[in-house]
Amino acid sequence: MSHKRIPKRRAAMAAGSVVALGAAALLLPHANASQGGDGSGATAAAPRTLRAADASDLAARLPGLLGDAFAGSYYDAGKRQLVVNVVAGGDDDAAARAGKAGAAVREVDNSMAELSAGARTLKTEATIPGTSWAVDPRTNRILVTADRTVTGAAWDRLESTVESLGPDTATLRKSGGTFTTYVSGGDAVFGGGARCSLGFNVTAGDGSPAFLTAGHCGVAAAQWSDAQGGQPIATVDQALFPGRGDFALVTYDDPATEAPSEVNVGNRTVAITGAAEATVGQQVFRMGSTTGLADGQVLGLDATVNYPEGTVTGLIQTDVCAEPGDSGGSLFTRDGLAIGLTSGGSGDCTVGGETFFQPVTTALEAVGASLGDTGAAGGADAGGGDAVGGAGAAGGDEAGGAGAGTGEQAGGEDSGAGDQAGDGTGVADAGARHEDR
């Protein structure tokens, strides 16, 4: 595995080795991708053709526009449309309002209130380590997942609870892996025996340079270095895990540290232009030093995951692969928007699995930090069609070590981020590696 150090006075995220076998990562120009019909054609009839980023903006407006008739939304990447669920037999004007806003309308039976009530029942009756649940707007049901550790009486309890919600309210499925936080791996930040990934560089509320990473990394050690056994370069300011999120703000000890919101993807840096909410059905990309660049789709929002260390709520569920060493790493879109921080999951990049991410927007609001293109140098330019990434083999030395005081693994993961500079650039398919925790 190729290892790169994060320069002490240059805070660009270090990308780890990019897997070559069937998973080459490319940053290619996508001129058409920037030209979505999101209002550019006055004669376009609803539903509008939208880029994923514009669909996310519309999805954020729909709950307020539709009120109780709103039952979730998702992005249809094939048609490039945002589909909104509207409760049948409710507000007669809701479908018209949604259509006028540019969404494709679908009538469904389950309201968000009913699905939320089902999630509360699961929390009360089935908070079992190794389980997760999230609303899936594509099926208008709650997707409940149990990992391979949920057996015997625990499985019976979970199955009974799901059945009690009704046949059209929730779907239960079994995962072949085990839900854990992801630790150890390639290029990383190190602290107290833990090895984790730097997620995104940000500016703290007081103006000082800082970065976001996973909360389970932040509670594992107070100080972090850019080299194993090296001198600390940053100190944890805030960290949350478990609970209502999995995020940490780590401030650089040297206030003169240059920390642009950009990432190093191997042979160039890519500017991050801002943060955005995830949309179900949206294509997303994850960068990590263990597995390189991987892509997939958002499967659910506001996911609850019951890790061995405790329950974490408010996460993004995806089918993007990851492995130990990717924790804290960056989840982003083709348009250069920061979406999430790698939390944990099950499976691996060979057999697939589920991966959960902390929403960046929630983390930024909680810690009072900002992220954007402030002084980011060397972002991917729209004309550059050269492949990025290259062929490092996955693997490498893993740093074990238990996270201090948390009972969770502390092998921490390293983050890279392959975010795009949203002005005409795009990330090509990242290949066949699917995340496993």
Query: To the nearest whole number, what is the mean pLDDT of the chain?
Result: 76
- Its pTM stands at 0.76
Element (DSSP H or E) covering residue 143 = strand 141-146
**What percent of the chain has pLDDT above 70?**
71
pLDDT range class, residue 263, cuts 50, 70, 90:
low
Residue type, 278: A
User: Residues 409-415: what's their mean pLDDT?
Assistant: 35
Which are the contacts of 120, defined by CB distance < 8 A and separation ≥ 6?
none
**pLDDT tens for each residue of 337-380:** 899 999 999 888 888 889 999 999 999 999 999 986 443 333 33
Chain segment 28-58, per-residue pLDDT in tens: 444 333 334 444 333 333 589 998 888 989 9
Q: How many CB atoms lie within 10 A of CB 35?
A: 12
The pairing of beta strand 247-252 with beta strand 234-240: antiparallel
Cβ neighbours of residue 412 under 8 Å, at least 6 residues apart?
183, 184, 185, 188, 189, 190, 191, 194, 195, 196, 197, 214, 217, 220, 325, 327, 328, 399
Active site residues: 216, 246, 327
- Measured in degrees and rounded to the nearest 5, phi and psi for residue 53 equal -65, -40
C-alpha gyration radius of the chain: 21
CA dihedral over 31, 36, 42, 45, signed as positive or negative: positive
